[in-house]
Structure 1
Amino acid sequence: MEISAGGRLEVRITAADVGKRVSVRRWSEHAAEGERFTDTVGVLTSWDNGVLLITRRDGEGVRIAESSLVAGKIVPEAPARRRGPAASWEELARISARSWQPLERERLGAWELRAAAGFTRRANSVLPLGDPGLPLDRALTAVRRWYAARGLPAYVQLATGAEGAQELLCAELETRGWTREVTAELWTGGLAPVADRETSGVELSRTADETWLARYQRKGLSDVALKVLGSGPSVWFATVPGAHGGPPAAIGRCVVDGRWAGFAAVEVDPEQRRRGLASAVMAALARRALDEGASAAWLQVETDNAAARALYTRLGFAVHHAYHHYREPEDFGGAGAGGPRVAGTGPVV
């Protein structure tokens, strides 16, 4: 924290520093002895009516009374990660969007509105990478009307935890009643280490056939869902056949896009886990991606999926940033508000 020449802590931030990364210390007289000082690091996303809102790397907002501050300073952006390929969050947002392509899209300035009959939030949310060309409230109204006309709830996908990410826009949506429903993380890593694994028994295909779909977690998929799964610059599906013609022992999906290979839908029969099948599936897909010229890898994982996170760590992946889907408030009077929702809009990242 900032310490003056006299050895005292000082608050060296003001409301003019909104949007900057800060570190603050606050004091609470009601906390237990030894726990009365709390440090918080993140982006200062607002300072209104005597209350600071600081958004941490994981997207969580911390509200702090100005009167409780004992120290505060501006701090540099988080140092560059030492693992994985270099990339900005915006580059990865564009790359990941191309691997789950919607059936319908429309531009609102630099924002992209995406819809695919409700299959996966990634193809049914706004990707706001820049200025919408309208004041925020008008842009959000246009967004809500666009999704309401399609019988879908409006979602906005935002990133936090990387240099220049969208903490401020997260705070703006929250003040307007938008609710964060899902938080996940985007991880990156080198592709070659993933390929350096056993791949025996893995079969590759360009399409998600009935066998592959028998293991996929989403059942009863529509034609729209199948089109989204098959979308992307170069899509591959991996299958480890099951015993006696049953569902596959393991599956996976990979989209190759320039230097990047994106992994998804890596699923293993619960009775055959911890046998290296997930690693084998990813290795087979990685080798094909290397053949197509890719060198870097990314994937998305929910924050509570401990088994997947352990596997990806062993394969050399590391967290790049968090991303979130914010859902519109329920008080909108558009054509689709309060009406029936399209099936498939459940908790899918």
Structure 2
Amino acid sequence: MTVPALPDVEALMDAAWPAPDRTESNGWVLRAASGVTQRANSVWPREPGSDSHAQYALVREARLWYRDRRLPLIFQVFDDPRSTGLNSVLDAEGFTRQSETLVMWRDSGAKQATADSAVPQALVPEPGVEISTEPSPEWLELWWQVDGRGGPAELATARSILAGCPSVYALVRSDGG
């Protein structure tokens, strides 16, 4: 049995929430989207490095970049061996760990086995489930009620983030509509 290669989860997360304002510096990606979401308004240390002096300098640079945008400095850091040194630097600088993200994915060519058969079938939405490749106004309004922060300008930024990559949106209505 061949085990499929794991995707580059960090790169997928970055591509899934594309920030309209981004700068790359020494292996770090600084992203801003008017403060709408943490992921699109965070530093992704794509290459965290191992030199603590360089890491401290990059943290200072990131502080200034986010200060110029009047945004908090947030890091998207994975808790893995290559981030150990950077996590120590961030701990020493007084950063806190919060907003843990669970990353789940499914191969786009995935098939679903039915209860009747072990033969995979193409994935088909259940009746009553609306699937689209763009967020409908109704989907976006519901999502914004749950996850949104801000007014019309922030909603426009959120829409641009959502439409910035290939996506699938599902909408299921309750009996009340």
Q: Tell me how far apart the structure 1 counterparts of residues 10 and 4 of structure 2 sit (CA, whole Å).
A: 15
* SS of residue matched to 1:156: coil
Aligned mates of 1:167, 1:131 — CA distance in 2:
9
Please report how far the alpha carbon of residue 137 of structure 1 lies from its aligned counterpart in structure 2 after TM superposition: 1.7
Question: Cα–Cα, structure 1 residues 165 and 189, in superposed 2: closer, same or farther, change >3 Å?
Answer: farther
CA gap of 1:152–1:235, structure 2 versus 1, over 3 A, is same
Cα deviations across residues 13-34 of structure 1 (Å, max 9, x unaligned)?
Answer: xxxxxxxxxxxxxxxxxxxxxx
120, 143, 162: which one aligns with 1:229: 162
The alignment's TM-score, normalised by the length of structure 2, stands at: 0.76
Distance 1:158 1:176, change over 3 A: same
CA separation in 1, counterparts of 2:67 and 2:6? 35
Q: Which amino acid aligns with 1:230?
A: A
Residues 213 and 243 of structure 1: CA distance in aligned 2, closer, same or farther (over 3 Å):
farther
Q: Which stretches in structure 2 are left out of the alignment for 5+ residues? A: 114-121
Q: May I ask how many residue pairs the two structures share in their alignment?
A: 158
Between the two proteins, what is the percent identity of the paired residues? 27
Distance apart, 1:171 and its partner CA: 1.7
How well do the aligned residues superpose, as a CA RMSD in angstroms? 2.7
Residue-by-residue CA offset, 1:54-96 (whole Å, 9 max, x unaligned): xxxxxxxxxxxxxxxxxxxxxxxxxxxxxx84326xx110011
1:207 Cα deviation after fit: 2.2
User: What SS class does the counterpart of residue 182 from structure 1 fall into?
Assistant: coil
Amino acid at match of 1:145: L
Matched, 1:209 2:136: yes
CA contact 1:85–1:188 (8 Å) conserved in 2: no
More helix by proportion, 1 or 2? 2
Distance 1:145 1:239, change over 3 A: same
Superposition pairs for residues 143-158 of structure 1, below 5 Å? 143-158=62-77
Label 1:206 to 1:158 Cα distance change in 2 as closer, same or farther (>3 A).
same
Deviation at 1:158, TM superposition (A): 0.6
Superposed displacement of residue 127, structure 1: 0.7
AA matched with 1:237: Y
Report the equivalent of 1:98: 15
Deviation at residue 198 of structure 1 after TM alignment: 5.5
Q: Distance in 2 between matches of 1:228 and 1:157?
A: 17
CA 1:237–1:136 in structure 2 vs 1: closer, same or farther (change >3 Å)?
Answer: same
Q: CA deviation at 1:197?
A: 6.6
C-alpha contact 1:116 1:224 (8 A) present in aligned 2: yes
Runs of 5+ consecutive residues of structure 1 not aligned to the other structure? 1-83, 247-349
Larger Rg: 1
Which one-letter code corresponds to 1:206 in the other structure? T
Task: Tell me the equivalent position of 2:170.
Answer: 238
Matches within 5 A, 1:146-295: 146-161=65-80, 164-189=81-106, 191-193=110-112, 196=123, 199-216=126-143, 217-219=146-148, 220=151, 222-232=155-165, 234-243=166-175, 246=177
- Is the strand fraction higher in 1 or 2? 1
Structure 1 residues 204 and 197 mapped into 2: Cα distance closer, same or farther (>3 Å)? Answer: closer
SS state at 1:222 partner: helix
The one-letter code sitting in structure 2 at the alignment partner of 1:236 is V
Kept in 1, the 8 Å contact 2:125–2:131? The answer is no
TM-score, structure 1 length as denominator? 0.41
